[in-house]
Structure 1
Amino acid sequence: MADWNAQQYLKFEDERTRPARDLLEQIPLQDARKVVDIGCGPGNSTELLVQRWPQASVTGVDTSADMLRQARERLPRQTFIEANIAHWAPPAGTDVLFANAIFQWVPDHLKQLKRLLGSLPPGGALAVQMPDNLEEPSHILMRDVAHLEPWRKQLAKAAELRDSLPKPGAYYDALRPLCTRLEIWHTVYNHVLDGAPSIVEWVKGTGLRPFVEPLEPPERKAYLAEYTARITASYLPRADGKVLLRFPRIFIVAVK
């Protein structure tokens, strides 16, 4: 895929940061010396880590040059590294590995989570949050429209870039032998947005990217028009005209 767009992503910064805050609150470490924000994006989650552990060395890791540019502007005193998490290893002595909404994009991420948890010292924590929303209308409709002509051929592989998440039991069985404490839970957010077009703008920054990037501008415009029409029919306005974007997420906190 093309590089991520930090400006598009940050249109809903408060809503996107809320799960990171909720995950951070459940990490039991009071003191940390080295903290890494995996998939740090534009630095909104990294900023939370700096506030939580102001004396720690906090490093952000991401594959996106545009996201890292935004993160460095936001937090010029912190270190940010461009790297693919599948081939990256945390520095020795890392106390916290924090990953907000990144591992759903990583192939065979259970294997990667086991590897990263195993690299931590005793008492270190791996904290992970992932969207679990592929069966929500916002994402079902992406695939439905992609199966239509004239987009079917070009978008045949778009849905393959992200798999459905394993069940909580799979995470438990994989990680429990490696840690002394393991917490797994789901939270369903109902984000209040201005209307159906806001839902489209939200997913343009994340899940919709594989579906629109392969298309030429006229095809992209037509795809988005069809997708927006279906979103409008699926997310009906509430009494005040707002819409609710239902957004399930899974959380994992494992202490070595």
Structure 2
Amino acid sequence: MPATTPTWDPGQYLRHAEHRARPFAELLDRVPALPGDPARIADLGCGPGNVTVQLAGRRPSAHITGYDNSPQMLARTDEYAGPTAGGGQLDFAHADLTDWVPTETYDLIVSNAALQWVPGHLDALPGWLDALAPGGTFAFQVPNNIDAPLHALMRELAASARWKDRLTGVLRREDSVHAPLVYLDRLARLGCEVDVWETTYMQLLRGDDAVLDWSKGTGMRPVLTALADDPEAADVFTAEYRDLLRTAYPAAPYGTVLPFRRLFAVARKTA
């Protein structure tokens, strides 16, 4: 488990909102019909709520609750909370997914780019599936690129002589996301009809040091949190990481390409 719980910056996170939201839309495209009408839906790791509203657009009569453990992120959800146009309800609540236990029955439990931050999330799956109504669905997507330069260079830098005393154990482990077959096997053995796939997005990012800017919103948060009491050190680490990223992801006249692989799973509980 990471030694540092990241402090999130919604403004930084939302700087690349379009790229971050697209996989969620494509995940929802594969969710089958839900058993309840109106449906009860949980969004695990909802962040600032900007993708949770996609659920309200697709299931306008549903009662949807977004859960997150970041006060900073939840503070941004107020603009979305309340009755929806189709007679449903959208609300948000604090919850830590490392120990979240459902207290009601859901027709859909969905998660967008959150489970990679939850150590041992495979062990949570049986309890979450138990909370699904018969015929309900559990669907999630996670980044599956922990071996990419984006992360590998940051881990190498954090483990270097200059930084290891302050940053050992801070970053996500290399096994924070499992192989696609692991999720398929686990969900199928739990009695679900399972669809698992991967997509690699060629994300075209704009602006100076665009890949660094992307990382500041997500993967780099544990480092920035660990060094928050020493702004000078944070600036030095950021500059060193920036230089590594410039070589790994060279900028072109049209922008900087960040290949980004994501893993998707849709598991329908037997009716």
* TM-score, reference length from structure 1: 0.93
1:153 to partner: Cα distance: 0.7
Counterparts of 2:27 and 2:172, CA distance in 1: 28
Q: Find out whether 1:72 has 2:69 as its counterpart.
A: no
Q: 2:14 aligns with which of 10, 20, 23?
A: 10
Residue aligning to 1:56:
62
Residue aligning to 1:217:
231
Residue aligning to 1:231:
245
1:237 to partner: Cα distance: 2.5
Counterparts of 1:248 and 1:42, CA distance in 2: 23
Residue aligning to 2:86:
none
The one-letter code matched in structure 1 to 2:42 is: V
Change (3 A) 1:50 1:91: farther
Residue aligning to 2:256:
243
1:196 to partner: Cα distance: 5.9
Residue aligning to 2:87:
none
Matches within 5 A, 1:29-44: 29=33, 33-44=39-50
CA contact (8 A) 1:105 1:162 kept: no
Q: What does the per-residue CA deviation read over 1:26-46, in whole Å, with 9 as the maximum and x for residues that have no partner?
A: 001155510111101011121
Q: 1:105 aligns with which of 117, 123, 127?
A: 117
Q: 2:147 aligns with which of 128, 132, 135?
A: 135
The one-letter code matched in structure 1 to 2:14 is: L
Counterparts of 1:120 and 1:173, CA distance in 2: 19
CA contact (8 A) 1:195 1:241 kept: no
Q: Find out whether 1:46 has 2:52 as its counterpart.
A: yes
Task: Give SS of 2:93's match.
Answer: strand
Query: C-alpha root-mean-square deviation of aligned residues, in Å?
Result: 1.7
Counterparts of 1:169 and 1:110, CA distance in 2: 13
Structure 1 spans left out of the alignment, 5+ residues: none
More helix by share: 1
Q: What does the per-residue CA deviation read over 1:208-241, in whole Å, with 9 as the maximum and x for residues that have no partner?
A: 1112222211111111111001100111233x34
Task: Give SS of 2:106's match.
Answer: coil
CA contact (8 A) 1:133 1:249 kept: yes
Q: Find out whether 1:19 has 2:26 as its counterpart.
A: no
Counterparts of 1:112 and 1:64, CA distance in 2: 20
Q: What does the per-residue CA deviation read over 1:102-129, in whole Å, with 9 as the maximum and x for residues that have no partner?
A: 1111111111123211221110000010
Residue aligning to 1:202:
214
Aligned length: 255
Q: 2:193 aligns with which of 181, 185, 204?
A: 181
* Identical pairs, percent: 36
